[in-house]
Chain A
């Protein structure tokens, strides 16, 4: 366990083992000493708990976490399933939110857009690393009426299969518009690109989808 790399694996902030307690250590970093691994994780915990000086009052990040975590977790599960990877993406997204200071932003639309953009990109990284998501892990039900279930399923299959081949921005547009059911103006606002760009990328993605469909049917 000495060289273990502790990782926060759940939204409830696990911390590392010092004496066999606390123990969600799943990945090993052979190059990192236990002390260094612990220091890094404690830094992350400090980050989640409060400012560098824990006695200095600051905005209550737990409020932002409570408010925004459920939608972001649902979004990650839509794409990655109920996996540890989904939880990791949620955690990393909120660590970045804390670092950004945007959690203090009063406008939920602004914060949500930032969270959508960030966790979408982190999820893409996971998809590219994992290469493939077991479709059985992904729940199709309980999505708003703006999500076309058939299109969402098809899009996930393509994203899953072509994650490493499709440019990141195109994947992000496809995830937002096809999997999450965002309208093109919404996706453009979230990604901070023009609607024209979103439309163009969706067209490309649809072409890929069609090609893949033909390929599979033949």
Chain B
């Protein structure tokens, strides 16, 4: 038997990859092999680490709340807790949260059915992830992610300002509460604050309506707008 033939009797990356992607079913000959084989075990640990390093959506959880400083306080505002998922061994650690919460609008008679929508901004910096505290500046190179609680609304759009007004960067159905939107932003090194608008709505808004809603920071039973202004610290400036 040649060395090649011998090697072919061993476990390939493909085989292990399929096994890993299948959730490592127990009781299989391959899983039994992994238990005995240090190299295969180490390989699977490496895949776990790659998966862990990704911004996995947290399962749910509530914990801490920080009011967005730029929003005017409302009499009926009550703290709403959010929990930060323990991203465990992944070292996606700490969190800084911006939790925007506000109260329902008393003036139009709207009564929120499940609570008020909220938005949480996660900052990933130096191997650690935290929730923005609503004040601290972001730095060039920071990765930003958003987590929203739609509370009965169905669509979430994210927009940023441009020369022609607010432009839609993303629009998706509302995710399960506590699940991060499936993208991150990277802060650049240009001076000036960064701005984002998160628009939660019952139905998709057209561009004009979206801009208007953001401009007015509308908040009612149909549309809920959260504007984020993030101060930025640029080294050397």
Contact = CB atoms under 8 A, between A and B. Distances in A.
Contact of A23 (B57, B167, B170, B187): B187
Contacts of A55: 154-155, 173, 204
Interface stretch (B4-12, B60-68, B75-83, B95-103): B4-12
Interface size class of B (residues with CB under 8 A): 35 or more
A54 B171 contact: yes
A20 B188 contact: yes
B227 to A, nearest CB: 13
Contact of A66 (B10, B48, B56, B171): B56
B13 A143 contact: yes
Contacts, number: 173
B199 to A, nearest CB: 13
A186 B50 CA distance: 24
A50 B55 CA distance: 18
Contact of B186 (A11, A14, A46, A112): A14
Nearest to B42: A142
B143 A181 contact: no
Contact of B40 (A20, A49, A144): A144
Interface of B: 3, 7-8, 10-18, 20-22, 37, 39-40, 42-43, 45-48, 50-51, 54-57, 143, 145, 154-155, 160-162, 167, 169-173, 182-188, 190, 192, 194-196, 204
Given A12-B184, A50-B172, A55-B173, 11 more contacts: A57-B173, A66-B56, A70-B51, A71-B21, A74-B46, A112-B18, A144-B12, A176-B14, A180-B14, A182-B13, A184-B8
Q: Across the A-B interface, give the 9 residue pairs with the lowest CB-CB distance, nearest first.
A: A23-B188, A71-B17, A13-B183, A146-B10, A70-B50, A12-B184, A183-B8, A146-B12, A18-B160
